[in-house]
Amino acid sequence: MMNQEETVPCVDMKVKELENQINLNDEKLTSIMHKMLNEMKKGLGKSTNDQAKVKMIPSYVASLPDGTEKGSFLALDLGGTNFRVLLVEIMDRNEHNNKPNIRMDSQIYRMPKDVITGEGEKLFDHIASCMADFLKRLSLLDKKLPVGFTFSFPCKQHGLDHADLITWTKGFSADGVVGQDVVTMLREAIDRRGEFDCNIIAVVNDTVGTMMSCAHEFPDCQVGLIVGTGSNACYMEKLSNIELLEDSTGDMCINMEWGAFGDDGILNEFRNEFDVHVDENSLNRGKQLYEKMISGMYMGEIVRLALCKLAKDGVIFNGITNGPLFKPGSFETSYVSQIESVVSSGMTAVQNILANLELGALRSDCEVVIRVCQAVSRRAAHLCAAGIAAIAHKIKQNQPENDDLKITVGVDGTVYKKHPTFSKIMAEKVEHLCQGTGVKVEFALSYDGSGKGAALITAVAHRMAQLANADR
């Protein structure tokens, strides 16, 4: 039987082995950054897009806010069992500090199960009904407003106001919508109702909305990032580099759909046994492999699998081999954030969190759990940093060679907002990966991309259309 002096070094050695299995050093992160950069170029190429896993979808958002946008806009947000309608009023900037001056009012409507799983026409009829109720309550039924529609499902976009649904997700299965233009279906529902009129100018991806909502306050914001349940990024690209489109003058926002990075196996050397287990037991096996290493949907499960391995090896929890910890999904990602938040409060706070899983944890157990949580969340932040650094390098390639460049990344998502160290770790690693390139990357929290961002995209498109009409 080992004495305590022998046990502690043995425990530390096994924990270090696991940390090394999870951690990615700078050499590996640099390699991932270059692989992402190559995949981006492949996605932009006409002859290579079919083979690219990062699809680099043109959003048809061709301009950022310039501060002159004004007016009242309606924003719609459909992405789950709640549907939100917003009135967004963009006014003159504050004369004292030149800050944006936006006023919003909104209402949330439930999407009944029989609506989201029934006939497609009924789904859009319900949306039109909610719009009518909202406009009636604000006495705006007789006012024709420009509309931005945040539709957070996979779509193939053919224009700013044309998007064909590729597939339903999030429990939606309404018949007759897949393959159809969702804006056309909404317009038809509004016409059937005959109670109000509106001008649907834009259908919006939530990542693009995140960038736009931040760009209204930070003019150098050229990137949008979401790190929440899922993860995605977008950025402003030169049209001359987007071979899928014929136009070659100006810029356009590219919705990267970067969660699929690695689905062709190019990240396999950086994945570990926990990543493989998570993927093999997921509903979309073999897909979204980069996202599965980063996002909130999977972070807690990776920690759980690592803790189960240490428990089976007798390192923690007195070597237990059954109980709630061994149930898939039992270690929520919120536990990771909570544990890393309360470290400074002492082990009692960590023990209280672990008690949710019926784990009687000694101080030594808590110390190991903290280290595992830190390793998994640090890796997620570093992987995100590699992706953002790749985008920064790509944008820099579009600039004059000797010019320094400052980029602001607008970020949204629960992991970024609620994890105590994620944002700091990611920013530091991006700075390291961009050293010597003349690029400075800063981050700003983006507020309400699906609401304010959708309205701003609509406002910019409305301004551009008015300018085009004036030139005719």
CA distance 396 to 435: 13
- Residue 57 backbone dihedrals phi, psi, to 5 degrees: -80, 125
**Contacts of 8 by beta carbon, 8 Å cutoff, 6+ apart:** none
Q: Active site includes 84? A: yes
Residue matched to tokens 């859009």: 124
Among the options 59, 84, 213, 446, which is catalytic?
84
Q: Which of 429, 463, 441 is nearest to 222 (CA)?
A: 441
The one catalytic residue in 77, 206, 275, 448 is 206
Strands 198-204 and 145-151: parallel
Q: Is 257 left (phi over 0), alpha (psi -120 to 50) or beta?
A: left
| Token pair of 309 as six digits | 């391995």
337 catalytic residue (yes or no): no
**Nearest of 88, 89, 134 to residue 109 by alpha carbon:** 134
CA 220 to centroid of chain Cα atoms: 20
Reduced to 3 states (helix: H, G, I; strand: E, B; else coil), residue 72 is: strand
The verdict on whether 133 is a catalytic residue reads no
Residues counted in the chain? 472
Encoded tokens for 316: 């923690």
CA–CA gap between residue 169 and residue 172 (Å, rounded) = 6
Report residue 431 CA to chain centroid gap. Answer: 21
* CA distance linking residue 181 with residue 336, whole number of Å: 40
- What distance in Å separates the CA atoms of residue 463 and residue 465, rounded to the nearest whole number? 5
Please give the single-letter amino acid code of residue 284. N
Q: Among the options 59, 152, 213, 423, which is catalytic?
A: 152
Are 192 and 203 in contact by the 8 Å Cβ rule? The answer is no
Q: At what angle do helices 363-397 and 333-342 cross, to 10 degrees?
A: 110
Question: Which residues are catalytic, by number?
Answer: 84, 152, 206
